[in-house]
């Protein structure tokens, strides 16, 4: 007997059941009032700028305004918000249930994968339906979601249809100042980062395999209900301790070694990064002097943090200490950056601490401060860093881990 199945009816039935289930399980991690307030503030900003809506391609913006949590931004998708705070999402079928499950978006439109599909055509059609012809729209040009290929598809579709204004940082300005709930999430991330460091200290000894150290650090984050971070945990020993990027291939620690770690737990996507170099075996005098300079520089940076002061002041404090110690040629030209809910490929959330940065710090900002020294001549490295919260009077260190030089 042959049975004919109407796939549309099955799909609609499934989605109806799934949508009903979402009323019980939808994990938006903020109260509805907070989400509504965020959208209202963005909408008011749009009105003040004379914009009729905003085309968002940043996953961070989508998460901040709706709770939508996915890595689907690597494909073509766009979230639209209008002057009334209403949102519409254009995405692919694999992210339909993802959006339904993780966000409060009510209007979700799909484009489908075919041989010659042009999702930009679908977006233009959606904008036409929403009445945006001859309107002025903000757009997030500076976004991993709007890669060059996608822009080449989109530009000819919107040319002459509407006016586009670069609004890449419009949502970012609101994301920088954290709400009480966001701060709670970052505190939890900091706690998990501390736990990961405890695991590393316990395992790092002569003969230890770097992969075991990483597995323990990442594992305790997951056991604490943490998330994948915005980029890989960074580990390097012997000469690769001077690197500040992850690379493939791991080794066992020697009896005399140096181990550099940079990692961040994430909780509800919010990060709290840390950085340390520990010494296996005898501490060389250069290592100790580098460590002391890093500690002094980190404390100077904390002292320079005040709401209303430019971020360049913090960089200057870092540079003055390390340069006075005769280590200027071995330091970096930035000493930290914002921490927030951030997605891959990296957990850096601008702005950064660099020379002359005029961006003013505000209470409620969270930053990762990192002191990094790498002497290529002697092949020795030293790092020290953690996440801080800017308060009304200065900054609060979110890590409980002491700044001691660890020697195993």
143-to-57, 77, 296, 388 alpha-carbon distances in Å: 6, 12, 36, 26
Domain final position from 174, 207, 232: 174
Residue 2 maps to a domain: no
Are 207 and 104 in the same domain?
no
Are 49 and 196 in the same domain?
no
In sequence order, the β-bridge partners of residue 82 are 53
Residue 182 maps to a domain: yes
Output the 3-class SS for 319-364.
Answer: HHHHHHCCCHHHECCCCEEECCECCCCCCCEEEECCCCCCCECCCC
Are 295 and 156 in the same domain?
no
pTM of structure: 0.93
Supply the CATH number for residue 285's domain.
3.90.230.10
Are 198 and 147 in the same domain?
no
Measure the CA–CA gap between 38 and 49, rounded to whole angstroms: 17
Are 212 and 294 in the same domain?
yes
Classify residue 11 by burial, with Cβ atoms within 10 Å: 0-12, 13-18, 19+: exposed
Which DSSP string corresponds to 15-29?
A: HHHHHHHHHHH---S
Are 109 and 128 in the same domain?
yes
pLDDT of residue 22: 54
Are 131 and 193 in the same domain?
no
Closest-CA residue to 30 (of 282, 270, 287): 270
pLDDT of residue 84: 96
Domain final position from 140, 174, 208: 174
pLDDT of residue 27: 73
Residue 25 maps to a domain: yes
- Per-residue tokens: 348: 């850096």
- Structural domain boundaries enclosing 97: 7-174
Handedness of CA 62, 64, 68, 70 (dihedral sign): positive
Supply the CATH number for residue 148's domain.
3.40.350.10
Give per-residue pLDDT as tens, 157-200.
999 999 999 999 999 999 999 999 999 999 999 999 999 999 99
Are 110 and 163 in the same domain?
yes
Terminal alpha carbon distance of the chain: 72
Are 160 and 185 in the same domain?
no
Residues (pLDDT < 70) of the chain are: 1-26
- Per-residue tokens: 9: 């009816």
Residue 389 maps to a domain: yes
pLDDT of residue 103: 96
In total, how many domains does the chain have? 2
Which DSSP string corresponds to 291-305?
A: HHHHHHHHHHHHHH-
Residue 186 maps to a domain: yes
Residue 66 maps to a domain: yes
pLDDT of residue 14: 47
Are 275 and 381 in the same domain?
yes
- Per-residue tokens: 224: 């604490």
CA 97 to chain centre: 23
Are 303 and 169 in the same domain?
no
Domain final position from 129, 153, 174: 174
Are 344 and 254 in the same domain?
yes
pLDDT of residue 18: 54
pLDDT of residue 325: 98
Residue 405 maps to a domain: no
Give per-residue pLDDT as tens, 11-50.
454 455 555 555 545 678 999 999 999 999 999 999 999 9
Beta strands in 57-135 (DSSP E): 78-82, 87-92, 107-111
pLDDT of residue 363: 98
Residue 209 maps to a domain: yes
Report, in angstroms and rounded to the nearest whole number, the Rg of the chain calculated over CA atoms: 24
């Amino acid at each position: 007997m042959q049975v004919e199945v109407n796939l549309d009816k099955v799909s609609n039935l499934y989605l109806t059941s799934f949508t009903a289930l979402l009323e019980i399980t939808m994990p938006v991690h903020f109260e509805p009032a907070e989400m509504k307030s965020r959208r209202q503030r963005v909408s008011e900003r749009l009105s003040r700028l004379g914009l009729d809506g905003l085309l968002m391609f940043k996953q961070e913006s989508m998460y901040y305004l709706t709770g939508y949590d996915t890595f689907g931004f690597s494909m073509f998708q766009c979230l639209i918000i209008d002057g009334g705070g209403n949102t519409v999402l254009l995405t692919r079928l694999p992210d339909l249930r993802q959006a339904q499950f993780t966000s409060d978006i009510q209007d979700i439109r799909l484009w489908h994968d075919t041989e010659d599909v042009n999702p930009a055509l679908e977006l233009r059609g959606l904008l036409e339906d929403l009445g945006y012809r001859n309107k002025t729209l903000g757009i997030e040009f500076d976004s991993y979601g709007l890669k060059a290929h996608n822009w080449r598809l989109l530009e000819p579709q919107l040319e002459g249809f509407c006016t586009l204004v670069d609004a890449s940082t419009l949502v970012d300005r609101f994301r920088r100042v954290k709400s009480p709930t966001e701060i709670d999430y970052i505190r939890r991330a900091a706690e998990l980062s501390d736990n990961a460091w405890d695991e590393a200290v316990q395992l790092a000894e002569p003969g230890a395999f770097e992969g075991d150290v990483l597995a323990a650090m990442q594992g305790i984050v997951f056991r604490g209900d943490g998330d994948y971070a915005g980029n890989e945990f960074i580990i390097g020993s012997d000469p690769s301790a001077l690197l500040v990027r992850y690379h493939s291939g791991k080794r066992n620690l020697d009896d005399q070694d140096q181990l550099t770690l940079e990692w961040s737990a994430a909780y509800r996507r919010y990060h709290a990064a840390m950085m340390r170099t520990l010494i296996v075996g005898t501490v060389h005098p250069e290592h100790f002097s580098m460590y002391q300079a890093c500690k002094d520089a980190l404390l100077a940076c904390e002292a320079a943090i005040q709401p209303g002061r430019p971020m360049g002041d913090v960089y200057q404090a870092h540079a003055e200490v390390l340069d006075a110690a005769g280590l200027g040629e071995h330091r970096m030209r930035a000493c930290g950056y914002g921490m927030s809910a951030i997605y891959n490929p990296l957990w850096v959330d601008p702005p950064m601490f660099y020379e002359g940065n005029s961006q003013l710090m505000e209470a409620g900002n969270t930053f990762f401060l990192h002191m990094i020294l790498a002497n290529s001549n002697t092949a020795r490295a030293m790092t020290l860093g953690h996440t801080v919260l800017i308060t009304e009077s200065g900054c609060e260190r979110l890590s409980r881990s002491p700044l001691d030089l660890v020697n195993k």
